[in-house]
Structure 1
Amino acid sequence: FTAPAGVGATVADQLDDTALWRAFADGATLVLQALHRTWEPVADLVSGLSTELGHPVQANAYVTPPQNRGFDAHYDVHDVFVLQIEG
């Protein structure tokens, strides 16, 4: 889901938003890894949780189109706190 960078860009490959939205429209889940590194409100939440719990915390976001399933039943090998916003 990347495309060549435009003129003057310093990153060799960038997100191809057309391909991304096409996949999302077809039912794909968008995975935003380490969201706490790029979105300040989430960074603040993670910082507060880490302080309160006394353990490292990170945040990922998963966005799945309506009427689609993001993941099959599974387990993770680390502790997970899930906050479902909608759906």
Structure 2
Amino acid sequence: MKPILLPLSLVLLLAACSAAQPPWKNTDLPKEQWARDWSACKRFAERRAGGYDGGEGGSPLDAYDRIQIKRRVDAEVASCMIDRGYVPEKKAGGQ
């Protein structure tokens, strides 16, 4: 792979992820509000979870810590969105 393709691929991947619609919906609010609320809930949850200062180490304990923090953040986001009147968006394929 040429050296320029990897950074370009990463930029495109990040752009696609950031443009994704939040996985929550509230039919009482305009869709434009959904992304703002989701972003606010994510920021709140990340602050509350405390973050992880262990870096990207390869030890099993580092991986465990990152997974636990992600679970806490996901739970806080869910709680925040539910408090704002949102329900989880059904995934394609009926899951």
- Normalized against structure 1, the TM-score is what? 0.24
Q: Considering fraction of residues, name the structure with more helix.
A: 2
Q: Which has the higher contact order (CA 8 A, sep 6+)?
A: 2
- Normalized against structure 2, the TM-score is what? 0.23
Q: Considering fraction of residues, name the structure with more strand.
A: 1
